[in-house]
A and B are shown apart, each in its own frame.
Chain A
Amino acid sequence: MIFTILKLGWKMLTRDRGGLFLSFLLPIIFFSIFIIIFGSAFSGGSTAPVSCIVVDLDNSQASHRFVQALKDDPSLKILTEPAHAADQPAHPYTRESAQEVVKAGDARVAAILPQGFGETVGSFSGDAPPVELLTDSITDPIAYQVVNGLMQRALIAGAPDIMIQRGLGEFEKYAGELTPHQRELMDRWLPQLRQEVESESSAATQPASSQPDSSAGSGGDADAESQPAKKSSFMDAGLVPTKVINVRTDHKTDWEALVAFQASATAVMFLLFAVSAGGGTLLEDQESGVLDRLLISNVGMSNLLLGKWLFIAMMGFVQVSVMFLWGAFVFHLELFTPEHLIGFIIMTAATACAASSLGIVLAASCKSRSQLGGLSTIVVLTMSAIGGSMFPRIFMSEKLQLIGKFCTFNAWALDGYRKVFYYNVPLVGLWPELLVLSCITVGLLILARILARRWEAA
């Protein structure tokens, strides 16, 4: 009896291809996709370099060498001036302009090398003026720590002669001056050492590890609020003392940032699930014969698709609105300011329209609801993973971030929501996201119409 039941179960499973797919192949496909997305096979084992603006207020030989050492580090993407046309003069970043860029989210950290940096860097006394690290420490609590650690390394790797000079100075302070002979020997050796380092730098020698190590530095204060660096000794302050300054002053806590990010990330992911289910009503209508009846009644396929699309988009709009309202009332998301509310409405409308088009395309490309279930699960989870709904895209490799932008609209939607709720970008600043989402909407609708021809008279 039990054997018969087992046999029946096996036969039913093997003859239901959709069920078989979901049971065995879907987990394998997901496993592979996530390995490709997040594994070293695709991303080369490295996250994206941390974009860091350097403003050199010291403008000394030592500071130049330090900046060059930072530029040589592949874990950093050092910017010293905004992009400009070849025939236009370069204008290096100022402290203010760098702060604005970080505030807008276009660079993760700005390092301000203070005047006197070259004179005091590497001092063991701990009284050197700190390098200010401007960052958004709420949404990006890692970048400034990475920069801090890599600055320590850059100093040692890029200017060991300075380090030795500073060390000798400290030695002489407590143990007495060097003899003239010792001084002469040191004066001969240090230029050689510097020459060696510079020749290595010009040959673009790679450091031993390309993996940023957030624990490398100890000089930066991880506190999100602006606090002076400790100056008791280099053991606390680091060889390059730093002072972390949060460029965001409008958000009181990182909790609010978390709510703003999670509300949009979760809303967009579940919006995709909702629209794929909404698109599935087309297949439901097909199976029940209602679709036939609708088409016989001269509704027309284009009208039918537009009607479905509009309904699913409206449903999606309401769904996202409910989530944000919940966030506002329960988790104190700042929704009810004029800028946030209008920005939210615009972004949600654009996102819901694009998502609705995707839902229709998914339905039109499947022959049954079980097929749609499998396909939409893969598409939604993959798009959500690389589009930033599962975790922030800034932690992904550059290549993956690029793929996220090109292959998903999660990335565009989330960027738009971040601009509204986090960066407080004026509404006009949403144009790139709105343009892309609108193009996606139209493109997918055209594709859906082409795919839906299979339902028409043939």
Chain B
Amino acid sequence: MSTVLSVVDAHKTYGETQALKGASITLNAGEWLGLLGPNGAGKTTLIRAIAGRVLLDQGRINLLGSDISSDRNLAIETRKRLGVVPQEIALYPLLTARENLQAFGTLSGIPAADLETRIEWALEWTGLADRAKDLAKTFSGGMKRRLNIACSVLHRPSVILLDEPTVGVDPQSRQRIWDMLAALRKEGAALLLTTHQLDEAQTVCDRITIIDHGRTIADGTMDQLVLDTIGPSRTVLLTLDAPPTSDLLTLSIICEDLTLRASMTDVAADLPPLLQRLHGAGRKVRDVQVQSPSLHSVFIHLTGRDLRE
């Protein structure tokens, strides 16, 4: 799989604040990469550096085979194949959906002959065909988000950067947005996504990169991240009818009120003996839950529970 975007050893300092301290990412063709991190970790700075809105103090950015961190003209030309979906609703509120698409499509360099076709595609794609003549300011949050995305991908970019594309929208609109992005991916676009919706990132992304304090601290598929951080064990929760006796508790089995929390590498082998011991001690098991490790667990494991802001 060829690499369409790579950032190596990115450094950026604002005054006294070091926003990036060596962050690196790679995005492969047709891939969906989730870029995660706590608030202030450096995600937006990294995205803005790729988009050309932030100049790195140090580091290299390679986009679609071109080193865009050194040659300005090459960067301008190469970035024409980049789509950037900002976190803000960056639309003209007093223009209609169609007029917004026309404006940003033209500014993106779409030839006039293709523009109308692309606008029709975008209106269908976003589900806004019947609202094409309505002013953007009259749209709901979800509709604005969809139009916001459409304005950034109208020129069929090969690489798309999405900064929290689903923030503040209802589940229906969110699903529609994921469907829209899946369609782009089918057309061959590679997507770099930042989000705090970890469950969604876990579902849609092929690979996850986590950055914190301006550095890349983890990178890989979901399974790789779980193995590298939490390990292969699963958490088993057993709800009892009475507190367990102390002889039942070990390093891997802890008690919280009437709930036993056990960490098991092989649930099929380790769970039956525990159930037998509980039965022998006169405890009844009212409920059993086996928890798979989630991205949330990995994220908290890597970045800790401390607030960052």
Task: State the A residues within 8 Å of B (CB).
Answer: 288-290, 292-299, 457-458
- Within B72-91, the residues touching A (CB, 8 Å) are 76, 79-80, 84, 86-91
Q: Could you list 6 examples of A-B contacts with CB < 8 Å?
A: A288-B93, A289-B90, A296-B53, A297-B104, A297-B108, A457-B54
The 10 A-B pairs of least Cβ separation, nearest first, read A289-B88, A289-B90, A293-B90, A297-B107, A290-B90, A289-B86, A457-B55, A296-B84, A296-B51, A297-B108
- Within B106-129, the residues touching A (CB, 8 Å) are 107-109
Q: Given A297, A299, A458, which contacts B55 in the complex, CB threshold below 8 Å?
A: A458
Q: Range of interface residues on chain B?
A: 20 to 34
Given contact pairs A295-B53, A298-B109, A457-B52, A290 touches B91 in the complex (Cβ within 8 A): yes
B96 within 8 A of A: no
Given contact pairs A295-B53, A298-B79, A289 touches B84 in the complex (Cβ within 8 A): no
Whether B92 and A290, one on each chain, are in contact in the complex, defined by CB atoms closer than 8 angstroms, is yes
Whether A294 and B107, one on each chain, are in contact in the complex, defined by CB atoms closer than 8 angstroms, is yes
The distance from the CB of B31 to the nearest CB of chain A, in whole angstroms, is 22
B151 within 8 A of A: yes
Whether A296 and B52, one on each chain, are in contact in the complex, defined by CB atoms closer than 8 angstroms, is yes
**Closest residue on chain B to residue A304 by CB atoms:** B107
**In the assembly, what is the distance between CA of A141 and CA of B11, in Å?**
71
What are the residues of chain A within 8 A of B151 when measuring CB–CB? 293
What are the residues of chain A within 8 A of B76 when measuring CB–CB? 298
- Within B42-60, the residues touching A (CB, 8 Å) are 51-55
B152 within 8 A of A: yes
**Central interface residue in A297, A457, A458, by most chain B CB within 10 Å:** A297
What are the residues of chain A within 8 A of B80 when measuring CB–CB? 298
**In the assembly, what is the distance between CA of A288 and CA of B89, in Å?**
7
**Closest residue on chain A to residue B76 by CB atoms:** A298
The distance from the CB of A303 to the nearest CB of chain B, in whole angstroms, is 10
Whether B53 and A292, one on each chain, are in contact in the complex, defined by CB atoms closer than 8 angstroms, is yes
What are the residues of chain A within 8 A of B152 when measuring CB–CB? 293
Whether B90 and A288, one on each chain, are in contact in the complex, defined by CB atoms closer than 8 angstroms, is yes
Whether B54 and A458, one on each chain, are in contact in the complex, defined by CB atoms closer than 8 angstroms, is yes
Contact pattern, B 265-277, Cβ under 8 Å of A = 1, otherwise 0: 0000000000000
The distance from the CB of A195 to the nearest CB of chain B, in whole angstroms, is 80
**Closest residue on chain A to residue B51 by CB atoms:** A296
What are the residues of chain B within 8 A of A297 when measuring CB–CB? 104, 107-109
**Closest residue on chain A to residue B53 by CB atoms:** A457
Q: Knowing that A296-B84, A298-B109, A299-B107 are A-B contacts, what are 16 other residue pairs whose CB atoms are under 8 Å apart, sorted by A's residue number?
A: A288-B88, A288-B89, A288-B93, A289-B86, A290-B91, A290-B92, A292-B86, A292-B90, A293-B104, A296-B52, A296-B79, A297-B109, A298-B107, A457-B52, A458-B54, A458-B55
What are the residues of chain B within 8 A of A288 when measuring CB–CB? 88-91, 93
**In the assembly, what is the distance between CA of A458 and CA of B12, in Å?**
10
What are the residues of chain A within 8 A of B104 when measuring CB–CB? 293, 297
**Closest residue on chain A to residue B151 by CB atoms:** A293
The distance from the CB of B57 to the nearest CB of chain A, in whole angstroms, is 11
The distance from the CB of B102 to the nearest CB of chain A, in whole angstroms, is 13
**In the assembly, what is the distance between CA of A290 and CA of B90, in Å?**
5
What are the residues of chain A within 8 A of B51 when measuring CB–CB? 296
Q: Given B54, B79, B89, B108, which contacts A289 in the complex, CB threshold below 8 Å?
A: B89
The distance from the CB of A76 to the nearest CB of chain B, in whole angstroms, is 58
The distance from the CB of B101 to the nearest CB of chain A, in whole angstroms, is 13
What are the residues of chain A within 8 A of B90 when measuring CB–CB? 288-290, 292-293
**In the assembly, what is the distance between CA of A458 and CA of B14, in Å?**
10
**Closest residue on chain B to residue A458 by CB atoms:** B55
- Within B205-258, the residues touching A (CB, 8 Å) are none
The distance from the CB of B35 to the nearest CB of chain A, in whole angstroms, is 18
**In the assembly, what is the distance between CA of A289 and CA of B90, in Å?**
5
Whether A293 and B54, one on each chain, are in contact in the complex, defined by CB atoms closer than 8 angstroms, is no
**Central interface residue in B54, B104, B107, by most chain A CB within 10 Å:** B107
The distance from the CB of B187 to the nearest CB of chain A, in whole angstroms, is 20
**In the assembly, what is the distance between CA of A289 and CA of B91, in Å?**
8
What are the residues of chain B within 8 A of A289 when measuring CB–CB? 86-90
The distance from the CB of B20 to the nearest CB of chain A, in whole angstroms, is 14
**In the assembly, what is the distance between CA of A76 and CA of B93, in Å?**
60
What are the residues of chain A within 8 A of B84 when measuring CB–CB? 293, 296
**In the assembly, what is the distance between CA of A285 and CA of B79, in Å?**
21
**In the assembly, what is the distance between CA of A153 and CA of B240, in Å?**
117
The distance from the CB of A297 to the nearest CB of chain B, in whole angstroms, is 4
**In the assembly, what is the distance between CA of A295 and CA of B84, in Å?**
11
What are the residues of chain B within 8 A of A290 when measuring CB–CB? 90-92
- Within B136-170, the residues touching A (CB, 8 Å) are 151-152
**Closest residue on chain B to residue A456 by CB atoms:** B53
What are the residues of chain A within 8 A of B54 when measuring CB–CB? 457-458
**In the assembly, what is the distance between CA of A458 and CA of B15, in Å?**
12
The distance from the CB of B94 to the nearest CB of chain A, in whole angstroms, is 11
Given contact pairs A298-B76, A299-B107, A293 touches B86 in the complex (Cβ within 8 A): yes
**In the assembly, what is the distance between CA of A457 and CA of B50, in Å?**
11
**In the assembly, what is the distance between CA of A293 and CA of B54, in Å?**
13
What are the residues of chain B within 8 A of A457 when measuring CB–CB? 52-55
**Closest residue on chain A to residue B79 by CB atoms:** A298
The distance from the CB of B181 to the nearest CB of chain A, in whole angstroms, is 18
What are the residues of chain B within 8 A of A293 when measuring CB–CB? 84, 86, 90, 104, 151-152
The distance from the CB of A175 to the nearest CB of chain B, in whole angstroms, is 89
**In the assembly, what is the distance between CA of A203 and CA of B88, in Å?**
77
**In the assembly, what is the distance between CA of A290 and CA of B100, in Å?**
11
**Closest residue on chain B to residue A290 by CB atoms:** B90
**Closest residue on chain A to residue B93 by CB atoms:** A288
**In the assembly, what is the distance between CA of A289 and CA of B87, in Å?**
9
**In the assembly, what is the distance between CA of A292 and CA of B104, in Å?**
12
